[in-house]
Structure 1
């Protein structure tokens, strides 16, 4: 059985006991979270339901460097970004 859930503007296909990394959700490790379900299915049958997940950890992603340059104008800008992430373990599909 699988489900398609939406969080952080992205969609994920999940099954029971899967671990997914999503954009930051509020809560501490060990907290239970209910995700918005778009579709659940098993084989050929489709339906709707709920997905319950447990927060495993809160972490930060890899650093991304943004570098802007305009030729022959002595213009250079360097900026960095690290996205806050949440690791979820899917506990049940309803």
Structure 2
């Protein structure tokens, strides 16, 4: 069984037992969170798609850790103008372990 959930402005296809990294969520490590924004639920060949959400569907997850992704380097340059700009960014994430999917 799998589900498509929405969090942090993105959509994720999740199954029970998986670990995913999502945009940072304000929650303690070890805390359980229930996502109620479930867009679709599938079980084998059967697929239930919401309009826009599946009524009564929830996904329970456990917060495993918080961290930062690898650095993304930004380099801007204008040729022949003696302009160069270096910049970097590390996006924060929360790692989640998927528990029960209820449809």
- Tell whether the structures are fold-level matches, with TM greater than 0.5: yes
Structure 1 gap segments, 5+ residues each: none
Structure 2 gap segments, 5+ residues each: 49-53
> CA RMSD for the aligned pairs?
1.0
Map 1:73-92 to 2 at 5 A.
Answer: 73-92=81-100
Distance 2:29 2:8 in 1: 19
Count, aligned residues: 94
With the length of structure 1 as denominator, give the TM-score of the two structures: 0.93
Distance 2:94 2:38 in 1: 18
Offset of residue 45 of structure 1: 2.5
Of the three residues 53, 59, 63, the one matched with 1:51 is: 59
With the length of structure 2 as denominator, give the TM-score of the two structures: 0.86
Offset of residue 51 of structure 1: 0.4
Offset of residue 9 of structure 1: 1.8
Instruction: Tell me the equivalent position of 1:28.
Output: 28
Distance 1:64 1:45 in 2: 40
